[in-house]
Amino acid sequence: MGFLAVGLSHHEAPLAVRERAYLEPEEIRRALPALVGHADLLGALCLSTCNRTDFYVTTRSTDQMREAVVHFLRYLAPDGVATPYVRCFEGPNAIRHVFRVASGLDSMVLGESQILAQLKAALRLAHEAGTVDHELDLVMRGALATAKKVRTETGIGREAVGIAQAAVAHAARVLGPLAGRTVAVVGAGTVGAAAARLLRDAGVDRFWVAARGQRSAALAATLSARVFGLQDLTGLGPELDLVVCATASQRPVLDHEAVAALQQQRDRRPLLVLDLAVPRDVDPTAGSVAGVELVDLDALGLVIQRNRESRAGHRPAADRIVAAAVVETVADLERRAAAPVISALVDRAEAVRRSELERTLTRLRPLTAEERRQLDRLTQAIASKLLHAPIAYLRLHAADSGRTAWLQEVFGIDPVRPR
């Protein structure tokens, strides 16, 4: 059995190429059975995201892995555009690649967790397509377990490195527990909505969303939030703990006077204002209002950079976990590959032993039951000792289909094909 990982990613392929290689779930559902049938593979899985499109497959032999690469190249790049960017890993290197992908070690953002959910979804899709064999399942389960171990035993995914993540982490540091806090959200684009959802997940259960179009209405519905007009923000002062601004406006939506008026309604209790917009949504001078902490992207950028450096410091420990898991998985696969041939060899030896024993017994004088048992044990011991060396050889060279086939031929065993 061979294991192959082939595809392209953000490491080499520009966005335009990755976009062309991206496959929708329904396309994957149709492609996997066709690829398995056409290339005579044993199993296949496709992971397709904005940053990579990878195929992970099991094959009957090394030669078939080469043929599989050709098929995948044609599928990924029928016009040849993606061909220069495709990477191929075989055997233990392929398993290592999958484990690193699952653990976020191969991601654009080191240690990001979204890839793990995407890999789980890809595995479910392959199960639905009926293209997960025992070996592919073993590798994927190993990848998921390794990713979990990396995340629990190292700090590689602990610190926030995205804008929305960093913003929410900073809010928790400043305000303490976020459960029961009240937040006003101004701007429902990608960053604003992501921050709002993360705040909800962190325990915030009272939201106000500024009315600024359909996106704002949709976000308000998602958060079960109340809607307000930006001109009415001052009236919310007494209950607010945090204001998140992330609009696409070319000029500030909150000036110094607006923030001062808001704070006056709060008896100058501490107020955190997160300005996640470019250009900035909040007049920088608003940070001088008593009790107001204004945090913009420059300040968050420093936090993110420190967190990136911290994550990088955990990479060696994560790499060690992956390396150990790869060794263990390769050993499991080799034991699985050897098992059918070993079983066939033992069955063949047992059949010969019984046949020769029965033939010999017919030529001897009548034996007592005890004598027959002793003779049976003797022939079993001889067969066991004779089988020891070839079985050890099979286990040692289980990944080499050529040697396995040679041993089957030597012992007159019918070819054993992988499941």
Q: Got the DSSP string for 174-185?
A: HHS--TT-EEEE
DSSP structural state of residue 203: T
- Name the β-bridge partners of 55: 6, 46
* Contact assessment for residue 286 and residue 201, using Cβ atoms and an 8 Å cutoff: no
What's the rounded Cα separation, in Å, for the pair 165 and 195? 7
For 364, the token pair is 């001897």
In what helix (H) or strand (E) does residue 57 lie, and over which residues does it extend? strand 52-59
Half-sphere exposure of 198 (CA within 13 A, CB side): 19
Q: Which residue in this structure is represented by tokens 């690193």?
A: 100
Supply 230's token pair. Answer: 């930006």
Quick check: is 50 catalytic?
A: yes
DSSP H helix total and E strand total for the chain: 14, 10
What angle, rounded to 10 degrees, do the helices at 134-153 and 315-361 form?
Answer: 140
- Alpha helices for 79-162 (secondary structure H): 91-102, 114-129, 134-153
Report the relative pairing of strands 206-210 and 226-228 from DSSP bridges: parallel
Whole-angstrom distance, CA of residue 337 vs CA of residue 67: 21
Give yes or no for a contact between 245 and 276, defined as CB atoms under 8 angstroms apart.
yes
Say whether the peptide bond before residue 238 is cis (omega within 30 degrees of 0): no
Tokens 């059975």: give the residue.
33
Residue of 46, 50, 88, 245 marked catalytic = 50
Beta-ladder partners of 272? 242, 293
Distance separating alpha carbons of residues 250 and 166, to the nearest angstrom: 24
Rounded to an integer, what distance in angstroms lies between the CA atom of residue 72 and that of residue 89?
A: 13
Closest CA to 272 of 282, 280, 51, 331: 282
Residue with tokens 């420990």: 317
DSSP class per residue in 30-48: HHHHHHHHHHT-SEEEEEE
Write down how long the chain is. Answer: 419
Q: Would you say 253 and 245 are in contact if contact means Cβ atoms under 8 Å apart?
A: yes
Q: Which residues belong to the active site?
A: 50
